[in-house]
Amino acid sequence: MKKKNYIFFVVLLTVTIFSQINSPTHNTPKNSDRLLLQSEHYIQLPDELYNKVMSGKLIEKISAKKYKFKKGEITQSESQGKVVIYFDHEPQEDQKQVLSDMGVSCYWDTWTPSMENHPYGFVLAEIPVNKLQNTLSLNFVKKMETAEYETQPQNNNGNQNIRAPEVWNTGYDGSGIKVGVLDSGLDSFYKGTDLAKSISSF
């Protein structure tokens, strides 16, 4: 595997795992952030900062946590927003200290530098809900996105959803290819027809 592809895979895996922390699958838990807010409860940012917001999901997630914290429905530690912060270069020590002093917890071991087709590097972080504007206002912070996307299980429809049968119909059958799957587990007694003929476990 080429180095760039490997780095991308590790980054994608890291972001996916981070975004699944306390993320619902089958049922929406009691403390879910899925909350219909009145417009006045959404965080309002100065116009010049909106170009740093990568999607409305960031505003939605942080606003919901801020509202629930204000109502006393969640604790201060539960009100931290899980985000991805983008920079044009790895922050220097004084910049890291500024973030730390604001209460922004960056996981610097997840730092991923910019690549050929992506101008910004990024790091996973947690920010206090009342520090969104302050963090976005920092000149060295270029973009921010939520790391709390919710996903639903696809069960046995995964191969149809990724259109695998269309590939199989062209003659590709996976011969000579090994695929490693990082997963929470597979029931050893499952005998479904959608599994490969041979599966190696560790």
pLDDT of residue 137: 97
pLDDT of residue 55: 92
What is the residue type of 155? N
* CB within 8 Å of 3: residues ≥ 6 apart: none
Question: Would you give the distance in Å from CA 8 to the centre of its chain?
Answer: 14
The parts of the chain modelled with pLDDT lower than 70 are 1-35, 154-155, 183-202
Residues 154 and 133: beta-carbon distance below 8 Å: no
**Neighbouring C-beta atoms of residue 103, cutoff 10 Å:** 14
3-state SS of the chain? CCHHHHHHHHHHHHHHHHHCCCCCCCCCCCCCCCCCCCHHHCCCCCHHHHHHECCHHHHHHHHHHHHHHHCCCCCCHHHCEEEEEEECCCCCHHHHHHHHHCCCEEEEEEEECCECCECCEEEEEEECHHHHHHHHCCCCCCEEEECCCCCCCCHHHHHHHCCHHHHHCCCCCCCCCCCCCCCCCCCCCCCCCCCCCCCCCC
pLDDT of residue 192: 64
Instruction: Supply the pTM of this predicted model.
Output: 0.62
Instruction: Express each pLDDT in 64-83 by its tens digit.
Output: 999 999 999 999 889 999 99
pLDDT of residue 48: 95
pLDDT of residue 123: 97
pLDDT of residue 81: 94
pLDDT of residue 9: 46
pLDDT of residue 195: 64
Beta bridge partners of 105: 126
